[in-house]
Amino acid sequence: MSFIGKDGRARGEPMSDTTFLLIITVVIFLAMYVSAAILFSGKGFAKPQMFFNLLNENAALIIISCGLSIVMIAGGIDISVGGMTALISVACVVHLNDMEGSGFLTSLLLALGIGLAFGLLQGYLVAYLDIQPFIVTLAGMFFARGQAAMIETQTRTVANESFSALAQARIRLPIGSMNNNGVFVQAYMELGVIIALVTVAALFVTLRWTTFGRSLYAVGGNKQSALMLGINVKRTKFLSHVLCGLLTGLGGFVFLLHVRSGAVTHAAGYEMDAIAASIIGGTMLTGGVGNIFGTFIGVLTKGAIGNIVRAMGLVGSWWPGITLAAMLCFFLILQSVITSRKRA
Amino acid sequence: MRSLAKNPLFVPVICLGLVLLFNCVTNLGFFEISIKRNNVGNWILAGNLISVLNNASELVILAIGMTLITSASGGQDISVGACVAIAGGVILKILASKSGVPVPVAVFFGCLVAMAFGAFNGILVSIFNIQPMVATLILFTAGRPISSWITGGLSPRITNPILDAVGNVIPGVPVPTPIFVAAFCVALAFMAIRFTNLGLYAQSVGVSDKAARLVGLNPRRVKFIQFVIMGLCVGLVAFIKVSRVGSIQYNYIAKDIEMDAILAVALGGNSLSGGKFSMTGSIIGAYTIQAITTTLLANSVPSDALPAYKAIVIIILVAIQSPAVKAFWRKRFGGPRGREAEPGQNGTLPGTVPGAGEGGA
Amino acid sequence: MGAGILLTMRGVSKSFPGVRALKGVDFTLREGEIHALMGENGAGKSTLIKVLTGVYSKDAGEIRLAGHPRALNVRSPREAQDLGISTVYQEIGLCPNLTVAENMFMGRSKSPFLNWREINGKTARILGELGIPAKPERQLANCSLAVRQMVAIARAVDMNCRALILDEPTSSLDESEVEGLFALMGDLRARGVGIVFVTHFLDQVYRVCDRITVLRNGDLVGEYPLAELPRLALIEKMMGKELQELSGVHAEARDYGGLTPVVEVEGLRSDQGIAPFDFRNYPGEVTGFTGLLGSGRSECVRAIFGADKVTGGRVRVKGKAARITKPLEAMRLGMAYLPEDRARDGIVSDLSVRDNIILALQVMKGFFRPFTRKKATELAEGFIGLLSVKAASLDTPVGTLSGGNQQKVILARWLLTKPDYLILDEPTRGIDVGTKTEIQKLIVRLAAEGMGVTFISSEIEEMLRTCSRLIVLRDRKVVGTVSGSELTQDNVMRTIAEGSASPAGAAPPDGSAA
Which of helix, strand or coil describes residue B16? helix
For the domain covering C5-229, report its CATH number. Answer: 3.40.50.300
Give φ, ψ of B228 to 5 degrees: -70, -40
Instruction: Give the separation between CA C422 and CA C286, rounded to whole angstroms.
Output: 9
B146 → closest Cβ in A234, A322, A340: A322
Chain A residue with minimal CA distance to C159?
A229
Residue A178 phi, psi (nearest 5): -80, 140
Sign, Cα dihedral of C253, C257, C260, C265: positive
- Would you say residue A10 has pLDDT above 80? no
Strands C320-322 and C310-317: antiparallel
- Which of A206, A212, A228, A235 has the most C C-beta neighbours within 10 Å, making it the best mutation to test the interface with C? A228
Least confident of B102-106, B174-178, C21-25, C428-432: C428-432
The verdict on a CB contact (< 8 Å) between B214 and C307 is yes
**Domains along the sequence of chain A with CATH:** 46-312 (1.10.3470)
Strand partners, C269: C312
Query: Which run of H or E residues covers position B360?
Result: helix B356-360
Q: Does C73 touch chain B (CB under 8 A)?
A: yes
| β partners of residue B45 | B35
Inform me whether the C-beta atom of residue C325 falls under 8 Å from chain B C-beta atoms: no
At C1-28, the pLDDT tens digits run: 556 889 999 999 988 765 678 889 999 9
Tell me, what DSSP letter sits at residue A13?
A: P
Provide the β-strand partners of residue B9. none
What is the predicted pLDDT for the residue at C253?
A: 58
Contact at 8 Å (CB) between A270 and A104? no
Residues C189 and C28: beta-carbon distance below 8 Å: no
Within a domain: residue B173?
yes
The pLDDT, as a whole number, for residue C18 is 58
CATH number, domain with residue B13 = 1.10.3470
What residue type is assigned to position A281 of the chain? G
> Which residue, C25, C7, C456, C348, is CA-closest to C192?
C7
DSSP string, C188-221: HHHTT-EEEEE-S-HHHHHHH-SEEEEEETTEEE
Residue B192 pLDDT more than 50?
yes
What is the enclosing helix (H) or strand (E) of C29? strand C19-30
Distance (Å) of CA B127 to CA A17, A22, A309, C286: 22, 25, 31, 39
CB B77 within 8 A of CB B223: no
Q: What is the pLDDT of residues C309-338, one digit of tens each?
A: 999 899 999 989 999 999 999 999 999 999
Residues of CATH 3.40.50.300 domain(s) within chain C? 5-229, 242-334+419-514
Confidence label for A4 from pLDDT (cuts 50, 70 and 90) = very low
Q: Tell me whether residues B149 and A134 touch, CB distance under 8 A.
A: no
User: Average pLDDT over chain C, rounded to whole?
Assistant: 84
| Among A129, A142, A319, beta carbon nearest to B311 | A142
CA–CA gap between residue C32 and residue A286 (Å, rounded): 42
Check pLDDT > 70 for residue C54: yes
Share of chain B above pLDDT 90, in %: 40
| Partner-chain residue, chosen from B210, B343, B356, that has the shortest CB–CB distance to C54 | B356
Q: How far apart are CA B219 and CA B147, in angstroms?
A: 32
- Containing H/E element for C19? strand C19-30
Tell me whether residues C359 and B213 touch, CB distance under 8 A.
no
Q: Hey, are the CB atoms on C348 and B212 less than 8 Å from each other?
A: yes
Judge whether C136 is closer than 8 Å to chain B, CB to CB: no
Residue B359 lies in a domain: no
Annotate C281-305 with b (16+ C-beta within 10 A) or e (fewer). Answer: bbbbbbbbbbbbbbbbbbbbbbbbb
The chain B residue lying nearest A318, using CA atoms, is B145
Average pLDDT over residues C95-122: 87
Interface residues of B toward C, Cβ cutoff 8 Å, are 194-198, 200-201, 203-204, 207-208, 210-218, 275-276, 338-341, 343-344, 346-349, 351-353, 356-357, 359-361
Q: Report the number of distinct structural domains present in chain B.
A: 1
Q: Which of 166-195 (A) contact B at CB < 8 A?
A: none
Beta-strand pair C194-198/C163-167: parallel
**Which residues, 6+ apart, have CB-to-CB distance to B72 below 8 Å?**
B201, B202, B203, B205, B206, B222, B223, B226, B274
Q: What's the pLDDT score for residue C247? A: 38
Q: Is residue B346 part of a domain?
A: no
For residues C360 and A272, what is the distance between their CA atoms, to the nearest angstrom? Answer: 42
pLDDT, tens digit, 9 for 90 and up, residues A69-103: 999 999 999 989 999 999 999 999 999 998 888 88
CA gap C350, C357 in Å, rounded: 13
Using CA atoms, how far residue A238 sits from A88, A251, A292, in Å, is 22, 20, 19
User: A131 at the B interface (CB within 8 A)?
Assistant: yes
Contact indicator for B230, B69 with CB cutoff of 8 Å: yes
pLDDT at B146: 92
Sign of torsion over alpha carbons B239, B245, B250, B251: negative
Please check whether residue B290 lies inside any domain of the structure: yes
Q: Is C114 on the interface with A (CB under 8 A)?
A: yes
Contact B307 A143 (CB under 8 A): yes
Task: Please tell me the number of Cα atoms within 13 Å of A48 on its side-chain side.
Answer: 13
| CB–CB contact C114 A214 (8 Å) | yes
CA C157 from chain center: how many Å? Answer: 28
Average pLDDT (C279-299) is: 88
Tell me, yes or no, if C373 comes closer than 8 A to chain B by beta carbon: no
- In chain B, the residue whose alpha carbon lies closest to the alpha carbon of A122 is B315
Beta-strand runs (E) in C255-379: 263-270, 277-281, 286-290, 310-317, 320-322, 335-338
Give the chain B residue nearest A272 (alpha carbons). B141
**For residue B94, what are the domain limits?**
2-333
Q: What share of chain A is helix, strand, coil (3-state, %, to 5)?
A: 70, 5, 20
Q: Measured between CA atoms, how close is B198 to chain C, in angstroms?
A: 7
In terms of Cβ atoms closer than 10 Å to its own Cβ (0-12, 13-18, 19+), residue C255 is exposed
What is the pLDDT averaged over residues C386-398? 87
d(CA C199, CA C131): 23
CA proximity to C346, closest of C354, C337, C355: C337
Ordered strands of the C452-456 beta sheet: C335-338, C421-425, C452-456, C286-290, C469-474, C477-483
Most A-contacting residue of C106, C119, C120, C137 (CB-CB within 10 A), to test interface = C106
Q: What is the pLDDT of residue B5?
A: 61
pLDDT at residue number B342: 37
Residue B256: its chain A contacts at CB < 8 A? Answer: 142
Q: What's the average model confidence in pLDDT over A213-242? A: 91
Q: For residues C490, C495, C498 and C500, what is the CA-based torsion angle, rounded to 10 degrees?
A: 140
**Rounded to a whole number, what is the distance in angstroms from the first to the last CA of chain A?**
33
For residue A256, give Cα distances in angstroms to A86, A198, A244, A265, B37.
9, 18, 18, 13, 49
Region of poorest pLDDT, from A198-207, B100-109, C237-246, C379-388: C237-246
Asked whether the beta carbons of residue C355 and residue B200 sit closer than 8 angstroms, the reply is: yes
> What is the distance between the alpha carbons of residues A49 and A177, in angstroms, rounded to a whole number?
8
In CATH, which of 3.10.20.30, 3.40.710.10, 3.40.50.300, 2.60.130.10 is domain C242-334+419-514? 3.40.50.300
Distances (CA, A) of A262 to A83, A109, A181, B281, C476: 12, 17, 37, 40, 68
Q: What is the pLDDT of residue C237?
A: 83
pLDDT tens per residue across span A165-212: 888 888 888 877 777 777 777 888 889 999 999 999 999 999 989 999
Alpha helices per DSSP H over C18-83: 45-52, 77-83
Under the banding of pLDDT at 50, 70 and 90, the label for residue B40 is confident
Q: How far apart are CA C399 and CA B338, in angstroms?
A: 10
| C503 has pLDDT over 60 | no
**B47 CB burial (10 A radius; 0-12, 13-18, 19+):** middle
Contact A129, A241 (CB under 8 A): no
Q: Neighbours of A (≥3 Cβ pairs closer than 8 A)?
A: B, C
Supply the pLDDT for residue B248.
83
pLDDT at C283: 92
Cβ atoms of B283 and B64 closer than 8 Å: yes
Closest CA to C235 of C509, C472, C460: C460
